[in-house]
Amino acid sequence: MITAGVTGGIGSGKTTVCREFEKLGAHVVYADDLAKELMVQNQDVINQLKKTFGNETYHTDGSLNKSHLIREAFEKERVEELNNIVHPAVRKEFRNISQKSEKRGEKLVVKEAALLLNNGRPGDLDVIILVLSNRELQVERVKKRDRVTESDITARMNKQPVFEDLTPLADYVIYNNGSLEELQKKARELYHVLVHTEFG
Ligand code: ATP
C-alpha cells in the first residue's frame, strides 16, 4: 500500500483529482473534513482549543462556536496556534486510518490538504502530488462554485503558499489548465502509475 498527499491552491482541482482516485478504489481522507470532525470529537483537541482560545470556543451543547474561533484565530492572526493543535491530531488520525487500510489490503490511501508542504515535505507520505493551475482559472472556478467575490478569493489565495515554488517537493505535478475531462483523465492515469509502482 502507498500513501499519497494531494495538495494545491484554492480551486486548483485537488478534490476533483481525489474524486477520480476514489472512483478507482483509493481511500481519500480530506484533511479539512477530518479536522472539523476532530475539533468536536477528539477530547484532547477540544481541551487544547479551550485552553488556547477560551471555553467560549464551544457552545454548551458541545458544538463549535465558529464565530468565536474565527474572531480569535483568524482575525487576531493566531491561525498558527490553531494549526499547531489541529494538524498533529489530523496526522495521527491519518496514520490510524492508513494502518486500517493496509490491513484491509487497500492499495492507495490519500490525504488531500492545501496545507501539506508548509514545513517542507511531510515524512509520513510516500508520494506528493501537486495540482497547479493558472491563477485566473482558479478564481473563475471558485467564483462559480462558491458564489463568492473575486476579492474574497484573491485574499484567501494571498494567504496560501505560492504553489509553483513548491514543485521541487512534489513527485508528480498535475497541470490543470484544460478541461475538466482532461484533469480527470490525468488523475486516472496517475492512479494507475501509483498503484503499479514500488515506492520506499
Ligand atoms: P478548494 O481548495 O477550494 O477546495 P480544490 O483544489 O479542491 O479547491 P476543486 O474543488 O477540485 O478544487 O475544483 C474547484 C472547482 O472547479 C470545482 O467546481 C471543479 O468542478 C471545477 N474544476 C476543476 N478543474 C476544472 C477544469 N479543468 N475545468 C472546469 N472546471 C474545473
The atom of ligand 1 lying closest to the CA of 131 is 6
Q: What is the pLDDT of residues 100-153, one digit of tens each?
A: 999 999 999 999 999 999 889 999 999 999 999 999 999 999 999 998 999 999
pLDDT tens string 77-87:
899 999 999 99
Q: What is the pLDDT of residue 145?
A: 93
Written as nine digits, the cell of 197 is 509502482
Q: Measured between alpha carbons, how far is 74 from 69 in angstroms, rounded to an integer? A: 7
Quickly tell me which residue has 490510524 as its cell.
Answer: 96
3-state SS of 79-91 is HHHHHHHHHHHHH
pTM: 0.95
Mutation pick for ligand 1 pocket among 10, 141, 152 (CB with most ligand atoms within 8 Å): 141
Asked whether the beta carbons of 128 and 121 are under 8 A apart, the reply is yes
> What is the distance in A from the centroid of ligand 1 to the CA of 11?
5
CA of 114, closest atom in ligand 1: 2
Residues 117/128, Cβ–Cβ less than 8 Å: yes
When pLDDT is averaged across residues 179-184 and rounded to a whole number, the result is 98
Tell me if 171 sits within 8 A of 126, measured CB to CB. Answer: no
